Amino acid sequence: MVTGSMGRSRPHYFLEVLELLITESPRSPVSRRSGYQHHLDTGIGMDDDGGMSDVGDRRTVRVERRAQLGAFLKSRRAKIAPIDVGLPPGPRRRTPGLRREEVAHLSGIGVTWYTWLEQGRPINASAQVLDAVARTLGLDHAEKVHLYRLADVPSVPAAPVQAMMPPGLPVILDKLSPLPAVLLDSKYYVLAHNDAYRALFPGLADADSNVLRTVFLTPECCNPYQHNVDDKRRMVAYLRGAYVRHLDDPTWQALVSELCAASTEFAGMWARNDVAVPVNLIKVVQHPAVGDLAMHLTMMSLPATDGEWIQIFSPVDDTEATKLAELLAMKAEVRLRPVDEHRRRYHPVG
């Protein structure tokens, strides 16, 4: 039996080619389907009253995504020389880079399957198949995420994270003054902040400060956050969404256990199993020196880090801006005097 260059028998190779030709033949059963079935395949709406426009739009998007997938795979394949993956250069090639069958062989998948993938056929590629193709094509993380999205695979691979804070972040936070700004991790620990944030949240500027502990474990009279129930649920839901990515980290379990034991409110919200992402909204911040301040809370994630994100507080109007300016103009001892007086009066120690 004669064997091809990739170690496959010729009969097997011809069967694969025949299968492709039959699939693409105009006499395929697709051409004999009913108008409704053809509509489902092509995404063409039946009429304005039929309620099919959303289906058509989704199909159009999927068809375009598959076309983009094929173009992306071809472009990555063309960038890799055979010698780069341990293959001999071989005879003169009509196209640059690897051949389809070489990519399939190196990825451990069938040539027909990879061909369909590159042709944008409506097939379901698993994460394992995409991972193998990504390794063969030497894709970096951004390219791998792009591949997953084009292939309609929902489980986008997690990004590699930095263990250290980006060195320019403290400077950025300082430049945001007079707007209070803070860098949090996904457990709501305060990692860095500017002077305006320290003035607005004096109890959250110390080492090991945690916003969730402050929100759920601080008496209402001393709590800088005037949260409603929905705000608190959203915070817990964000924590839940991040928690699943750190199931092997004992510090996460310790924080959740601590909060559940100390706060029945947190425990109830945690038991709801809600998940969410941070959203921009209005927060009312309580400070004894100037009263309540209504602030826009703007959040920005840092994709290169492990779930870290920046919160920026900006006054909602000129009145609130005046109160914030007044607070920031105070000397630290004047600003903290009503805080200390309240603690001595209502929460004496010893």
pLDDT tens digits along 47-66: 444 444 566 677 888 888 88
Q: What average pLDDT does range 18-25 have in this prediction?
A: 40
pTM recorded for the entire structure: 0.61
Number of CB atoms found within 10 A of residue 87's CB: 17
Under the banding of pLDDT at 50, 70 and 90, the label for residue 162 is: low
User: Taking phi first (over 0 means left), then psi (-120 to 50 degrees means alpha), and beta for anything else, what does residue 306 get?
Assistant: beta
Cβ(323)–Cβ(308) below 8 Å: no
Q: Give the mean pLDDT of 82-98.
A: 77
Check whether 328 has a pLDDT greater than 50: yes
CA distance 189 to 179: 20
Q: Interhelix angle for 264-271 vs 250-262, to 10°?
A: 120
pLDDT at 160: 55
Bridge partners (DSSP) listed for residue 183: 192, 310
Of 165 and 210, the structure prediction assigns the larger pLDDT to: 210
* pLDDT-derived band at 325, boundaries 50, 70, 90: very high
pLDDT at 237: 93
Helical packing angle, 53-78 and 35-42, nearest 10°: 50
Residue 43: its H or E element: none
d(CA 205, CA 117): 53
Percent of the chain with pLDDT over 70: 80
Sequence-ordered list of residues with C-beta below 8 angstroms from that of 340, at least 6 positions apart, any chain? none
Band (pLDDT 50/70/90 cuts) for residue 349 is confident
* pLDDT top residue among 338 and 53: 338
For residues 249 and 267, give the distance between their C-alpha atoms in angstroms, rounded to a whole number. Answer: 20
Give the pLDDT of residue 155.
67
* Average per-residue pLDDT for the chain: 81
The amino acid at residue 103 is V
Stretch 151-158: mean pLDDT, rounded?
72
Task: Summarize the confidence of residues 257-267 as an average pLDDT.
Answer: 97
Task: Flag the least confident range among 16-25, 119-128, 320-329, 336-345.
Answer: 16-25
The tokens of 55 are what?
Answer: 């289906």
pLDDT the model gives residue 63: 86
Span 249-276, mean pLDDT?
93
Average of pLDDT values for 193-202? 95
pLDDT at 262 > cutoff 90: yes
Percent of the chain with pLDDT over 90: 39
Report the alpha-carbon distance of residue 6 to residue 93 in Å, rounded. Answer: 16
